[in-house]
Amino acid sequence: MIHVTLSELMVIYLLLLLGGVGTMWVIRKIGTVRSAWRLRKTWVICQACSNHYQDTSPSTLPVCPECGRANERLPIREI
């Protein structure tokens, strides 16, 4: 039999609890970053009028709804 004192048992319980919560937090954070990355790929910034719009069409040159100019899909840089 393994002899464990009450204080050691509490430390083990707290470590397991914090490890589980930390693991769930990391998994959730990775999912949030991935979904934001997927959403960012559909946003286009018009180079003529600086309008931000979402375009999910497969075309390589989406047309701006404000000025009608065709734009390239450039990566959006974060500040």
Q: Could you say which residues of the chain have pLDDT below 50?
A: none
Residue 66 CA to residue 45 CA, distance in Å, equals 11
Examine residue 56 and state whether it is found in any structural domain, yes or no. yes
Q: What pLDDT does 48 receive?
A: 87
Q: What pLDDT does 79 receive?
A: 63
* Token digits of residue 12: 């083990």
DSSP string, 2-52: ----HHHHHHHHHHHHHHHHHHHHHHHHHHHHHHHHHHHTTEEE-TTT--E
Q: What pLDDT does 9 receive?
A: 95
Q: What pLDDT does 21 receive?
A: 98
Number of domains the chain contains: 1
Q: What pLDDT does 5 receive?
A: 94
Examine residue 2 and state whether it is found in any structural domain, yes or no. no
Examine residue 65 and state whether it is found in any structural domain, yes or no. yes
Torsion of CA 14, 17, 23, 26, to 10 degrees: -80
Residue 70 is part of which domain span? Answer: 35-79
pTM of the model: 0.58
Beta bridge partners of 70: 63
